[in-house]
Amino acid sequence: MKNDMSGRFYARVLANIFYSAAVTCLVEIFLVTNVSMVMDYLRESGRGGRFVGAMESGTIGVLCYVLLGIVVFSALFLILQKRSLDYIRKLYEAMQSISEGNLNTEVEVIGDDEFSSMAASLNQLAQDIRNLMDKERESERTKNELITNVAHDLRTPLTSIIGYLELLSVGNSLPPEMEKKYIDIAYTKAKRLEKLIEELFGFTKLNCGKISMKVGQVDIIKLLSQLLEEFYPSFMEKNLVYELRSNVPAKVITADGNLLARLFDNLINNAIKYGADGKRILVDVEADDEIVTVSVTNFGYVIPEKDLPLLFNKFYRVEHSRSAATGGTGLGLAIAKNIVDMHGGDIHVTSDLNGTVFTVKLKVNFDINKENFSKIG
């Protein structure tokens, strides 16, 4: 592609040189012819003696024609190249503007040559820098929110644990069944605290890029089948049935198997927690040569439309899910989104009376060495 654009640019420059030279030759021929006629007239009329003599001396005449030819050729070539020169000036001004911090600078892409490619690359560079700066601002903006949410979610179970332990420490007259009840409650709260800390630690490592991806060949159908079997006790406990459907018997993709296991573990666990009322979980796989689409559907509570864009934010939970029964930390879907982003994929959710569907799109041939500024549409 670059060679083609380079060839077109050089061909245009050579064409401009040829046109300028051709016109210059025509002008020179015209001048030589007409100057000869004028010289003959002046000689016959006896006028312009010195001028005629100088022109007929040879050296001065040739020099005049050469200088005139250079002037004509240069003027024509500059006129023909004016568009390219103006475009170069615009590129330079845009680069100067971007270097001064004006990242909204954009150069109009005109034509299909090296300069238009430079303009497109410059626009893309400015856009990528804007995206990175927006992410940095968003990260800075959410620091206080993250600290506040962590403090709240850690304090709630800790307060309960301390309260029940204080009751046990001073309650010598408590019946054995009450002691057991308080111990069970404190243990449950401690396990929830442990889970929150583990998920928070995992999310922080993912979000800060401290997890190195171990990319290999993963059969995503086999992976999903194994995960669903591991959740069998949870399905039985919630009186749920599950179904795995696929348009292919097997599909090997390039990905980090451990991260994908965590991704779909979170989505299936989320479907079990919030879809128990629907009595059914559906996992559907659609695969082609380039993209694998995995949909996890539950038929429980319908999520309000206003909440859908916020579900993948850390610590965000729909009001309906804020209960001890579900035990959600608000990090599972944020972790899932981070894993999908690391694979250059896309995740989105829809929810209506036909079910709540989390859809993940992954590339079959993921290249870890390429920066994924753009996502799968």
The Cα–Cα gap between 139 and 166 comes to 39
- Predicted TM-score of the model (pTM): 0.55
- Of 116, 95, 90, whose CA–CA distance to 9 is shortest? 116
| Residue 99 CA to its chain's centroid (Å) | 23
Residue 366 lies in a domain: yes
Q: Which domain holds residue 35?
A: 2-102
The Cα–Cα gap between 345 and 352 comes to 24
Q: What is the pLDDT of residue 110?
A: 73
Q: What is the pLDDT of residue 251?
A: 95
Q: What is the pLDDT of residue 183?
A: 85
Q: What is the pLDDT of residue 131?
A: 83
Residue 244 lies in a domain: yes
The SS3 call for residue 299 is coil
Residue 127 neighbours by CB under 8 Å, 6+ apart: none
Residue 58 lies in a domain: yes
Q: What is the pLDDT of residue 340?
A: 92
Total number of domains in the chain: 2
Q: What is the pLDDT of residue 13?
A: 66
Q: What is the pLDDT of residue 2?
A: 47
User: Checking DSSP bridges between strand 280-287 and strand 252-256, what pairing results, if any?
Assistant: unpaired
Residue 179 neighbours by CB under 8 Å, 6+ apart: 168, 171
Are the CB atoms for 223 and 261 separated by under 8 Å? yes
Q: What is the pLDDT of residue 211?
A: 64
The Cα–Cα gap between 136 and 148 comes to 19
Residue ranges of the chain whose pLDDT lies below 50: 1-2, 5, 320, 322-325, 373
The Cα–Cα gap between 285 and 303 comes to 23
Residue 35 lies in a domain: yes
- Same domain as 365, residue 220: yes
Retrieve residue 267's tokens: 């989505």
Q: What is the pLDDT of residue 322?
A: 46
Residue that terminates a domain, selected from 74, 102, 130: 102
Residue 356 lies in a domain: yes
Residue 24 lies in a domain: yes
The Cα–Cα gap between 71 and 67 comes to 6
Among the residues of the chain, which ranges form H helices? 2-45, 49-56, 59-99, 114-170, 176-207, 220-230, 232-237, 257-274, 332-342
CATH number of residue 230's parent domain? 3.30.565.10
The SS3 call for residue 53 is helix
Residue 325 lies in a domain: yes
Residue that terminates a domain, selected from 42, 71, 102: 102
Q: Which long-range contacts (CB under 8 A, 24 or more apart) does 339-345 make?
A: 339/206, 339/259, 339/260, 339/262, 339/263, 340/263, 341/372, 341/375, 342/206, 342/213, 342/256, 342/259, 343/255, 343/256, 343/259, 343/260, 344/370, 344/372, 344/375, 344/376, 345/375, 345/376
* Burial class, 168, CB count within 10 angstroms (exposed 0-12 / middle 13-18 / buried 19+): middle
Other Cβ atoms closer than 10 A to 224: 21
Residue 290 lies in a domain: yes
Residue that terminates a domain, selected from 71, 102, 133: 102
- Same domain as 243, residue 376: yes
Rg of the chain, C-alpha, whole Å:
37
